[in-house]
Amino acid sequence: MKKVALATLMSAAISTNVIAQDYDPIYAPSPEARNAAKATLVGLDQGHGHTVAAGLFGTIVTKQDEQWQQAESPTSVLLTSVDIVNEDLIFISGHEGVLLKSNDGGQTFTRILDGFELLNLELPWIDAQVQELEAAIDNAETPAEASEYEYLLEELGFLMQGLEIQQEVGPTKPLLDVEFINESVGVVAAAYGTLLRTEDGGESWEVISDRIENPLGYHLNQLIVDPDGHLFLVGEYGLMFRSDDQGKTWSTLASPYHGSYFGGLVDSQGRFWAFGLRGNVFVSEDKGETFRAVDTPTRYNLNSGHVLEDGSVLLVGHSGVIVHIDEESLDAELYSHESNVPLAGVRETENGNLVFVSRAGIQNFTLPAAEEE
């Protein structure tokens, strides 16, 4: 019996490999799941009457009449971030350069960018950067100035090598976050320092990676926009930037911490928060010019955050960690979700009830303070 079972499994594996030769997750529609709300979900957004989550194998779920329903998705890549712009317009970013768009409130999604198209954007861009640096080296007035340009050219060569590998094996670059300031202007942050911008609702994109100080190509993890239109960007190794002109130009902020930031938010007082590795949290009252450390009772990574209706801040992270921070005192209370799984996103439903996305799909939680009321 064991030999028969083994032969059957080997036969199935061989058949799968043959099929896989023609399978490309970029273009393969997401498979229908028996319970998509329990799939691994990473991105979450809520607003304009919609709640949308997205994650593994291109899974997209929307909340309809208190029930989670799977939406059709034109891709099977891991989806990373959701941005609900208005009642009709929704964007979702994903791995392998995939960006999805819905014009009907999440009923249908179309793929507006993929890794092959991204390569076609980045290759001429990086070639132009190389030519510009080579010219700068030739025209340098001092050896020190030439040496600085040579260093930048060397680092650019690392990024070029990565693009050449993608040409050979296929696109692999994850788009990690998408944020639209309005219906037309949006920015996408990606791995290896890639930054994109559109002014026509995603119909065309411009590579603007050279507009931030990131010569080593560290990952850009999250974009945050405040009510005044200031755009913040956080990433690996303490990367922190701000744009005051809808992403056209960027200034480097003096980070109070050189570990990685996984996320940020702007609270009800207009303060900018950044958080990430080992439970580190910082808040700025002056658009990122100066920061104050917030003491948190955890050293687990913090992945996502949300401003609750009462103005307090909620941060979630690995091992089911939930950190609730008072708006005025900045005192933090620690809770833990019973699932103990990494929590990747959080939104408030009503009266302190929370919804999370996680490795185990949709999770719910009620803050103890809300229960006592």
- Write out the DSSP string of 260-290: -EEEEEE-TTS-EEEEEGGG-EEEESSTTSS
**Assigned token pair, 230:** 């200031």
C-alpha of 54 from chain center:
12
User: What's the pLDDT at 21?
Assistant: 43
135 and 149 belong to one structural domain: yes
pLDDT in tens, 226-247: 999 999 999 999 999 999 999 9
Into how many domains does the chain fold? 2
298 C-beta neighbours (distance < 10 Å), count? 19
Phi–psi pair at 276, nearest 5 degrees: 175, -120
Most confident of 108-112, 123-127, 169-173: 108-112
What is the distance between the terminal CA atoms of the chain, rounded to a whole angstrom? 61
Q: Provide the token pair at 73.
A: 């998705």
Query: 92 and 151 in one domain?
Result: no
Among 7-11, 44-48, 88-92, which is the least confidently predicted range?
7-11
Residues 124 and 105 in one domain: no
- What pLDDT, on a 0 to 100 scale, did the predictor assign at position 351? 67
DSSP 295: -
Same domain, 123 and 109: no
Q: Who's near 207: CB < 8 A, 6+ residues apart?
A: 121, 122, 125, 194, 195, 196
Shared-domain flag, residues 82 and 152: no
Instruction: Determine what percent of the chain is predicted with pLDDT higher than 70.
Output: 92
- Residue 82 covered by a domain: yes
Looking at 113, 129, 154, the residue that finishes a domain is 113
Cβ neighbourhood burial of 306 (10 Å; 0-12, 13-18, 19+): buried
Contacts 24+ apart (CB under 8 A), 197-205: 197/247, 197/248, 201/89, 201/101, 202/91, 202/99, 202/101, 202/112, 202/113, 203/112, 205/113, 205/121
For residues 361 and 9, give the distance between their C-alpha atoms in angstroms, rounded to a whole number. 29
Asked if 74 and 100 count as a contact pair (C-beta separation under 8 A), the reply is yes
**Cα dihedral value 205, 206, 211, 214, nearest 10:** 70
Range of the domain at 34: 27-113
**What pLDDT, on the 0 to 100 scale, is given for residue 170?**
85
- Choosing from 113, 137, 156, the residue where a domain stops is 113
Q: Band the pLDDT of 132: cuts 50, 70, 90.
A: very high
Q: Are residues 71 and 133 in the same domain?
A: no
pLDDT above 90: percentage of residues in the chain: 84
What integer best gives the mean pLDDT of the chain?
Answer: 91
Same-domain status, 31 and 99: yes
pLDDT bin (cut points 50, 70, 90) of residue 257 is very high
Same domain (yes/no): 98, 135: no
- Given a contact cutoff of 8 angstroms between Cβ atoms, the answer to whether 76 and 62 are in contact is no
β-bridge mates for residue 102, sequence order:
90
pLDDT of residue 185: 98
What average pLDDT does the segment 55-78 reach?
Answer: 95
Predicted confidence band at 23 (pLDDT cuts at 50, 70, 90)?
low
For position 38, which CATH number holds?
2.40.10
* Claim to verify: residue 103 and residue 35 sit in the same structural domain: yes
Domain assignment present for residue 273? The answer is no
C-alpha 359 chain-centroid distance: 16
pLDDT at 369: 65
Neighbours of 258 (CB within 10 A): 10
pTM of the complete model: 0.91
Q: Which two tokens stand for residue 78?
A: 């891991």
Nearest to 316 by CA among 341, 283, 350, 287: 341
Flag whether 270 is in a domain. no
C-alpha dist (Å) from residue 114 to 84, 156, 171, 178, 340? 20, 23, 8, 14, 34
Write the DSSP assignment of 237-248 as a string of letters. GG-EEEESSTTS
| 163 and 126 within one domain | yes
Is 202 exposed, middle or buried, given 0-12, 13-18 or 19+ CB atoms closer than 10 A?
Answer: buried
- Residue 342 forms part of a structural domain: no
Structure tokens at 101: 């768009």
Q: What per-residue confidence (pLDDT) applies to 350? A: 76
The tens digit of pLDDT for each residue in 299-333 reads 999 999 999 999 999 999 999 999 999 999 999 99
Write the DSSP symbol of residue 89: -
Backbone region of residue 353 per phi and psi (left: phi > 0; alpha: psi in -120 to 50; beta: other values): beta
**What average pLDDT does this structure show over 351-360?**
91
Stated as kind and residue range, the H or E segment containing 322 is strand 321-325
Q: How many other CB atoms are there within 10 angstroms of residue 68's CB atom?
A: 18
> In this structure, is residue 47 part of a structural domain?
yes
The predicted pLDDT at position 8 comes to: 31
Looking at the fold, whether 123 and 107 belong to one and the same domain comes out as: no
Q: Is residue 17 part of a domain?
A: no
Do 104 and 130 share a domain, yes or no? no
Residue 362: inside a domain, yes or no? Answer: no
| pLDDT, tens digit (0-9, with 9 covering 90-100), for 168-182 | 888 999 999 999 999
Closest CA to 295 of 307, 282, 309: 282
* 154 part of a folded domain: yes
Say if residue 135's pLDDT is above 80: yes
